[in-house]
A and B are shown apart, each in its own frame.
Chain A
Amino acid sequence: MLAYASRRLALLTVTLLAASMLIFLVTSVLPGNVGRIMLGPFAAQDSVDTLNRQLGLDRPVLERYAVWLAAVVQGDWGRSLHFNAPVLPLVIERLGRSLLLAAVTLAILVPSAVAAGIHAARREGGVFDRTVSLLGLSVRALPEFVTGVVLIVVFGIQLGWLPVQALPPEGAGPVEVLRHLLMPALCLVLVLFAYVFRMTRAGVIEALAADWTRTARLKGLPPSVVVLRHVLRNALLPTIAVLGAQIGWLVGGLVVVETLFRYPGIGTLIQFAATAKDLPLLVGCAVAVTAVFALGNLAADLLAASLDPRIRHGSPRG
């Protein structure tokens, strides 16, 4: 397990390096003068040049990347122009709130989607299976702000059950915080539900047809024990991999949901940085988000490895 974890960690470093290079390339190779983008079309050429020099943009790309990467690793993420404050603490504060929202999302998503997947697989092709499959397929490509608007109109305005803003008032208790986060989390759940449901369903169908499941049944184990002890452990492996990969969508969804529900997380920060052309802030957010995404994938892989001895003892290619 340790060997597997360290190999996986090395891979993570490579991925992060490649991603950081990509982010840097996007910000330095794409057409558009950085100083001009940040200061707007009416700024004097002098100030644009000065800003470009301050940002070190007159030096070669590779050198700039090395300097930038060294600073990022040491925790110097530059200064946000708009907030006139260091980027890193800003990003961390916002990231914390977003992770809370993401945690609530996963806490709703995983149990419901896995349970629905198992149920659908046990009656494959049945009414439940067909209905949930088609519903999930239709809903997963709905932008979060579309489901969000519908949820707000129904539950926030017509029924008045849930608050339409995600940020609870100061000093709210945990129940109140959950009530505020429920609708934004539901928007994210709806987009991700179909993936998790389908992977669980496919995994359970495959596992149910396997010989060892028949053996377990013929031993006289009750169906619930067969599913929980034998089928699920095998069926959940692809589901976990998919969850890891979906964290990217989750992050993209956060930008939208946080904007719609006015929640001061990393998503609204990215959105703000993009519209205000605050490039150091935008790059910092992108780096943070990529790191979280990569860590999420790592966690998913390690979880899968702890469930499946074949992965941790397998060939280096896994």
Chain B
Amino acid sequence: MAAPAVDLRVGRRARRMPPSLLAGAAMLLAWVAASLLAPWIAPHPPLASDFLALLQPPGPGHPFGTDQIGRDVLSRVLHGGRSVLAVAPAATALGLALGTTIGLAAAYFGGWTDEIAMRLLDAVMALPIVIVAMLALTFLGASTLNVILVIGIVFAPLVARTMRAAALVEVRKDYVRAAELRGEGIAYVMFREVLPNVAGPLAVEATLRLGYAVFTAATLGFLGLGAQPPAPDWGLMVAENQALLTTAPWTVLFPALAIAWVVVGIALVSDGLRVGQGP
């Protein structure tokens, strides 16, 4: 979620918010609000069929039209936002937690721990992410929880790389020695001393990963490995209605544009955070 934007602005840069950050945050807020309020603002229930209004083009009563069993596309798009809102931040948080732990440990311990961790990550990254996710979901079974787990785990190596690179500079600094001499434990030094000093890269990584979590979750949904019908999932809606693309494009276009909305919003926030942080 866009929350990290709040407390990461440092010192004098805090005054100037880049316009892309504001625009992106506004887009994301609109999405979060629409998703949370979906049960109240959606004109119809997401699963309710109206058999007298099959494949209605967008118009009064159905602003985004209806699908082939007469479900209101606007209502389904609004409700679909809820699953993205649940999956993407959860998967990102899992990936960040795992990756940060591995990355910080690799940087802090160095030597063999670092070498082994990095070679293992190389092997994981030698496999295309979507393919690994497909393999794993075929075995675990397609469900929302499994999508979160799988995305979180495949993201961990990528996060670990970034965090290790950022932490390598920090672990050599005197404050780390000081904490060690005070007799602080390893976990304390890693998470209470080093982690706050790599919060900037972590925030940029978080928004980047969040964007890719939406990307990957939507893609898995599209491939039929995420939410299952009749759930109002954006990726799944595109896949289900794909055959209608030429005759009833609104059934496909609106869920696709909803994904684009969230992704672009996250990208703008990510860009704004980076600009705000300086090089």
Say if A and B assemble together: yes
B264: chain A residues within 8 A (beta carbon): 138, 142
Contact A277 B138 (CB under 8 A): yes
B124: chain A residues within 8 A (beta carbon): 22
Determine whether B139 belongs to the interface, using a CB cutoff of 8 Å to chain A: yes
Determine whether A48 belongs to the interface, using a CB cutoff of 8 Å to chain B: no
The proximity string for B residues 232-253 relative to A, scoring 1 for CB distances below 8 Å and 0 otherwise, is 0001001100100110010011
Stretch of A173-181, A250-258, A307-315 with 4 or more beta carbons under 8 angstroms from chain B: A250-258
A193 CB, min distance to chain B CBs, angstroms = 13
Contact B252 A274 (CB under 8 A): no
B200 CB, min distance to chain A CBs, angstroms = 18
- Name the residue on B nearest A26 (C-beta): B135
Contact B134 A255 (CB under 8 A): yes
Contact B267 A252 (CB under 8 A): no
Determine whether A290 belongs to the interface, using a CB cutoff of 8 Å to chain B: yes
Query: Secondary structure at chain A's binding surface: helix, strand, loop or mixed?
Result: helix
Most chain B CB atoms below 10 A, which of A134, A256, A279: A256
Contact-residue bracket for chain A: 35 or more
Contact B135 A259 (CB under 8 A): no
- Name the residue on B nearest A255 (C-beta): B130
The proximity string for A residues 169-195 relative to B, scoring 1 for CB distances below 8 Å and 0 otherwise, is 000000000000000000000000000
With beta carbons under 8 angstroms apart, the residue of A153, A256, A293 that contacts B222 is: A256
B206: chain A residues within 8 A (beta carbon): none
Per the 8 Å Cβ criterion, residues 116-133 of B in contact with A are 122-132
Contact B222 A141 (CB under 8 A): no
With beta carbons under 8 angstroms apart, the residue of A18, A19, A143, A286 that contacts B215 is: A143
A274 to B134 alpha-carbon distance, docked (Å): 7
A253 to B216 alpha-carbon distance, docked (Å): 11
B128: chain A residues within 8 A (beta carbon): 248-249, 251-252, 289-290, 293
Instruction: Give 6 new A-B contacts, CB below 8 A, not counting A253-B130, A256-B219, A290-B126.
Output: A26-B135, A149-B238, A149-B245, A260-B242, A274-B134, A286-B135
Q: List 23 A-B contacts (CB under 8 A).
A: A22-B127, A134-B268, A137-B271, A141-B211, A143-B222, A145-B235, A150-B256, A152-B245, A157-B246, A248-B125, A249-B128, A251-B131, A252-B129, A253-B130, A255-B223, A259-B222, A270-B134, A274-B225, A275-B224, A286-B127, A290-B127, A293-B126, A293-B128
- Name the residue on A nearest B129 (C-beta): A252
Contact A31 B123 (CB under 8 A): no
B267: chain A residues within 8 A (beta carbon): 137-138, 140-141
The proximity string for A residues 9-24 relative to B, scoring 1 for CB distances below 8 Å and 0 otherwise, is 0000001101101110
A45 to B178 alpha-carbon distance, docked (Å): 63
Spell out B's residues near A (CB within 8 Å).
20, 122-132, 134-141, 211-212, 214-215, 218-219, 222-225, 235, 238-239, 242, 245-246, 249, 252-253, 256-257, 259-260, 263-264, 266-268, 270-271
Contact B271 A32 (CB under 8 A): no
A274 to B137 alpha-carbon distance, docked (Å): 9
B136: chain A residues within 8 A (beta carbon): 26, 30
B266 CB, min distance to chain A CBs, angstroms = 7
Most chain B CB atoms below 10 A, which of A138, A144, A146: A146
With beta carbons under 8 angstroms apart, the residue of B20, B131, B256, B259 that contacts A252 is: B131
Most chain A CB atoms below 10 A, which of B139, B249, B259: B139
A197 to B246 alpha-carbon distance, docked (Å): 33
A289: chain B residues within 8 A (beta carbon): 128, 131
Asked if A149 meets B224 with Cβ closer than 8 Å, knowing A32-B140, A289-B128, the reply is no
A293: chain B residues within 8 A (beta carbon): 126-128
Asked if A145 meets B256 with Cβ closer than 8 Å, knowing A32-B141, A164-B245, the reply is yes
A138 to B211 alpha-carbon distance, docked (Å): 10
Per the 8 Å Cβ criterion, residues 220-251 of A in contact with B are 248-249, 251
A80: chain B residues within 8 A (beta carbon): none
B144 CB, min distance to chain A CBs, angstroms = 17
- Name the residue on B nearest A17 (C-beta): B123
Determine whether A282 belongs to the interface, using a CB cutoff of 8 Å to chain B: yes
A26 to B271 alpha-carbon distance, docked (Å): 36
Most chain A CB atoms below 10 A, which of B128, B223, B249: B128
B102 CB, min distance to chain A CBs, angstroms = 16
Contact B266 A141 (CB under 8 A): yes
Determine whether A271 belongs to the interface, using a CB cutoff of 8 Å to chain B: yes
A256: chain B residues within 8 A (beta carbon): 130, 219, 222-223
- Name the residue on B nearest A290 (C-beta): B127
A125 CB, min distance to chain B CBs, angstroms = 11
A141: chain B residues within 8 A (beta carbon): 211-212, 214-215, 263, 266-267
A143: chain B residues within 8 A (beta carbon): 215, 218-219, 222, 235, 259, 263
A21 to B127 alpha-carbon distance, docked (Å): 11
With beta carbons under 8 angstroms apart, the residue of A27, A140, A142, A271 that contacts B135 is: A27
Determine whether A294 belongs to the interface, using a CB cutoff of 8 Å to chain B: yes
A23 to B257 alpha-carbon distance, docked (Å): 35
A294 to B257 alpha-carbon distance, docked (Å): 34
Contact B138 A282 (CB under 8 A): yes
Contact B259 A146 (CB under 8 A): yes
In the A-B complex, the 6 residue pairs with the closest CB atoms: A252-B130, A18-B123, A248-B128, A141-B211, A30-B139, A149-B256
B220 CB, min distance to chain A CBs, angstroms = 10
A255 to B135 alpha-carbon distance, docked (Å): 13
Determine whether A303 belongs to the interface, using a CB cutoff of 8 Å to chain B: no
A156 to B246 alpha-carbon distance, docked (Å): 9
